[in-house]
């Protein structure tokens, strides 16, 4: 699990949270789990779906390995805010070096 506070630095011109900030947190959770399971692992393919606008003051990313094969792994990351609202869903495929 990884988290980060939301500050004015994370806001876009419309006042919402920048997608890149949410992606960075999800990618960091993916990399942390993947490299904990097999070091080194690098991202081979990633995608993210933005589900809702955060209402709280903190984002939380929870990573879970769905497949841990011989040369690759698939990791799902759920991003919520501190109110429990679903914010984004990230899927990453890691290649084991």
Per-residue model confidence (pLDDT) at position 18: 96
User: pTM for the full model?
Assistant: 0.95
Per-residue confidence (pLDDT) for residue 67, from 0 to 100: 98
Rounded to whole angstroms, the maximal C-alpha distance in the chain is: 45
Look at domain 2-96 and name its CATH class.
alpha beta
Q: Find, among 56, 75, 60, the residue nearest to 22 by Cα.
A: 60
What's the pLDDT score for residue 38? 97
For the residues 2-19, what does the mean pLDDT come to?
94
SS3 state of residue 10: helix
In whole angstroms, give the CA distance from residue 48 to residue 21: 12
* The dihedral formed by the CA atoms of 34, 60, 2 and 8, expressed in degrees to the nearest 10: 120
Q: What share of the chain is helix, strand, coil (3-state, %, to 5)?
A: 25, 50, 30
């Amino acid at each position: 699990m990884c988290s980060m506070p939301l500050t004015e630095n994370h806001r876009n011109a419309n006042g919402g949270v920048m997608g890149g900030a949410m992606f960075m947190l999800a990618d960091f959770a993916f990399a942390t789990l993947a490299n904990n399971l097999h070091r080194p692992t690098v991202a081979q393919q990633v995608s993210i779906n933005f589900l809702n606008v955060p209402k709280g003051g903190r984002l939380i990313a929870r990573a879970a390995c769905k497949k841990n094969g011989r040369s690759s792994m698939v990791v799902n990351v759920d991003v919520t805010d501190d109110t429990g609202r679903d914010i984004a869903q990230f899927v990453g495929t890691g290649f084991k070096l």
